[in-house]
Amino acid sequence: MERRASLISKHHKEEIIGPIFDEFGWSLETVWADTDQLGTFSGDIPRRQSPIETVRLKALLGTHHTDAPWLVASEGTIRTSFTGLVEGIEIVALVPRGTGTMVTGRAMSHALHAVSFRVDRTTSEDEIIRQCARADLPRHRLLVGTADHRGPSIGALATKRDVVNVCRRLARRDTSLVVQTDFRAHLCPSRQRIIANAARDLMVRMTQYCPKCGEPGFGDQGTIPGLPCRDCGHPTDETFAQRWACPSCRWIEDRKTKPATADPARCQWCNP
């Protein structure tokens, strides 16, 4: 298998992904493409596809700009979990040229530095500066845009004064602004760590071959609940097995976890 790939990126992701590919013996070049057309974190351009479809489309943007046998792209999702914590989810994908099947690496973390606050024409300069103190400037940058996404967004803001000046420029009588972390990869170090973890997950998967068809990418696809209670034997929500799957032939292998039974304290029948 030829280990030569082209990364399709607009935001310098080669600085994050390149060293990890190199560690696993892959050669990675960069192809610039306007990946913002598939959606932006600012919301100016909505993402209309699922993350997995978006990362595939990103990779395919490079089809006519490189002869590398593999195309690489990444896609991130920032969301608030049911616990109220902000979580970053990253996918890094290898898409083979031709009819092969995409292989993906994934990572998730709550260690994402993220701030967001509203500003309108009544918000004082002192309040904006106070809110910006939480933003880890200039290490993480900020972005200002209209709450309804109908106006322009201005990002890469490195100082509190930059934020105040942009808010003044964009403020209108009937418009609310949102100041938030600029999540573009080259401006968000805490997101960079998640992308790197997803790239490493991808590279590890490419060293694991399917026991049925022999193609690379065989890996963990998630957990299966149902570990039986040690006392009553009733299935619980605890993990019964890890599901491994092949992206090429769809072969599935469930690998049972240890221990073989669950603590009765985790059983909805023994401990309702």
**CATH number of the domain enclosing 26:** 3.90.950.10
Count of structural domains, the chain: 3
Q: Are residues 50 and 96 in the same domain?
A: yes
Contacts of 270 (CB under 8 A, 6+ apart): 229, 231, 232, 234, 264
Residues 127/177, Cβ–Cβ less than 8 Å: no
9-53 tens-digit pLDDT: 999 999 999 999 999 999 999 999 999 999 999 888 999 999 999
**β-bridge mates for residue 143, sequence order:** 180
pLDDT of residue 155: 96
Within 10 A of 167 (CB to CB), how many other CB atoms are there?
20
Q: Are residues 197 and 67 in the same domain?
A: yes
pLDDT of residue 173: 67
pLDDT of residue 148: 87
Domain that holds residue 139: 116-182
> Residue 220: which of 205, 199, 206 has the closest Cα?
205
Q: Are residues 102 and 121 in the same domain?
A: no
Q: Where are the alpha helices (DSSP H) in the chain?
A: 14-23, 51-60, 125-132, 160-170, 189-205
Residue 215 lies in a domain: no
Residue 150 lies in a domain: yes
Contacts of 186 (CB under 8 A, 6+ apart): 11, 12, 13, 15
pLDDT per residue as tens, the chain (272 positions): 899 999 999 999 999 999 999 999 999 999 999 999 999 998 889 999 999 999 999 999 999 999 999 999 999 999 988 788 899 999 999 999 876 789 999 999 999 999 999 999 889 999 999 999 999 999 999 999 998 888 789 999 999 999 999 999 988 767 899 999 999 999 999 999 999 999 999 999 999 999 999 999 999 988 999 999 999 999 999 999 999 999 999 999 999 988 899 999 999 999 87
Q: Are residues 10 and 91 in the same domain?
A: yes
245-263 tens-digit pLDDT: 999 999 999 999 888 999 9
Residue 194 lies in a domain: yes
Q: Are residues 103 and 19 in the same domain?
A: yes
**β-bridge mates for residue 225, sequence order:** 239
Q: Are residues 164 and 32 in the same domain?
A: no
